[in-house]
Amino acid sequence: MSALVATEASTPTELRDLARTIGRDVAAVHAADVDRQARFPKETIDALREARLLGALVPVELGGLGHDVRQMAAVVRELGRHCASSAMILAMHDSQAACLTRHGDTEPLRAFQRRMATEQLLIASATTEIGIGGNTRSSSCAVERSGGRFTLTKQAPVISYGEYADAVLVTARRADDAADSDQVLVVCERSDDSTLGLEPISGWDTLGFRGTCSRGFTLTATGPESSVCEVPFGDISAATMLPVSHLLWSSLWRGLADEAADRARRFVQKAARRDLSTIPPGAQRLAELQVELQQLGASVEHLLGRYTAVQDDPEATSSLDFMISINTLKVNASTAVVDVLNRAIIICGIAGYREDSEFSLGRLLRDAHGAAVMVNNDRIMGNTARLTLMLRGEQ
């Protein structure tokens, strides 16, 4: 039996075991209900809190666990097998947490990180904006500053788990006269000297990832000016938000693919045991599925390695080569997970198609289809296409 609380020294393997315990005992128990009702997976997030995993990325000296993206990837991957919505919430939380722990280098922002760890705060994000068209590197709303205070209003088409978050990281133009791309990241929360209002403007009744409760909101916030992280958001995006979110999402989809492959494996082996004289027809397809699964895993592991090697070198993380690679990972992994699911459902046949069998793949398949459309692959490929115009043949 593994420990139920993560520590500074937890290895990726121990974290996977911990995530497996939470996944089996909590996330899997509620996953169907979370999906059916499109409700917040409160039980799982509470369990992650109890395991201290919401503060995992906060440095040790600020009371966190000082984990890196590879350790978080292990947790997200395992959790993704049991409840993809819960895993997505953790992945998004971690992507935001990483922005603050890696770039929030002021005393007030460090104090906030300390609270993230001690109070196990859940952090959401509001990066897109109505009228901007999904481009996170452009804002129309602006931070208004006066007398050491800020106010901010943003029409956000999506704030995943916004109603359940303790704080929201919001992108906005640095000031009223700043360019659309001259953005900062603002910590918006409810506290003694901060207010955060979220007025819902849309619902979240979707095919998959229903538990992320990714409604749209009109967000209004006030607080001390020190809640504004003054580091250019473009730098944060290139060095942290984009690579960490792509790595964690891809790890989550890998977890979904792991689970589908495992159900297909159990199905094939059950058939093999029934008739020991032949190899069941699904075995050939299972072998083919392993090829896809291995490629997916290799590509996630490769980019986790590359990112951890260069994460503190802003030139390297904003290099053409790396940007193309990290974009390609997202597109590749999100396509591969659907492919694995499609193969698994053919292998499991009607048992996989049914909603009431141990081999059911319906929810997994619906969740898998979210991968390509949440931050649309076509948009990412459009960005990558532009980057290829800068590729040189000399390296």
Partner 1 sequence: MSTSTDQLDSAVEEEVRRVLVEFGKLSVDATTPDSLPSDASLWSHGLTSHASVTVMLGCEDAFDVEFPQRLLTKQTFSSVASIVAAVREVQE
Binding site for partner 1 (CB under 8 A): 137-138, 174, 178-182, 232, 234, 315, 318-320, 383, 386-387, 389-390, 392, 394-395
Supply the minimum distance, in Å, between the C-beta of residue 330 and partner 1: 17
The whole-angstrom separation of Cα 89 and Cα 211 is 9
Nearer to partner 1, 191 or 318 (CB): 318
Contacts of 360 (CB under 8 A, 6+ apart): 351, 352, 354
Comparing CA positions, the residue from 108, 184, 100, 199 lying closest to residue 142 is 184
Nearer to partner 1 by Cβ, of 174 and 363: the residue is 174
CB of 377 to partner 1, least distance (A): 18
Given 3-state DSSP classes, what are the helix, strand and coil percentages for the chain, each rounded to the nearest 5? 60, 10, 30
Residue 150 CB, nearest approach to partner 1 (Å): 19
Minimum distance, C-beta of residue 91 to partner 1, in the bound complex (Å):
24
| Residue whose CB is less far from partner 1, 274 or 386 | 386
Residue 145: exposed, middle, or buried by beta-carbon count in 10 A (0-12, 13-18, 19+)?
A: middle
Distances (CA, A) of 339 to 49, 248, 254: 33, 19, 12
Q: Side-chain half-sphere of 41: how many Cα atoms within 13 Å?
A: 34
- Residue 392 Cβ, how far from partner 1 at the closest point, in Å? 4
Q: Which is nearer to partner 1, 290 or 383 (CB)?
A: 383
What's the CA gap between 274 and 285, in Å, rounded?
18
117 vs 99: CA distance, rounded Å: 15
- Pick between residue 106 and residue 383 the one whose CB is nearest to partner 1: 383
CB atoms within 10 A of CB 319: 14
Residue 234 CB, shortest distance to partner 1, in Å, is: 7
Q: Which is nearer to partner 1, 273 or 386 (CB)?
A: 386
If the CB atoms of residues 242 and 286 are measured against partner 1, the closer one turns out to be 242
Residue 386 CB, nearest distance to partner 1 (Å)? 5
* Residue 227 DSSP class: G
The residue ranges of DSSP E strands in 159-251, in sequence order, are: 167-173, 183-189, 195-200, 217-224, 228-229
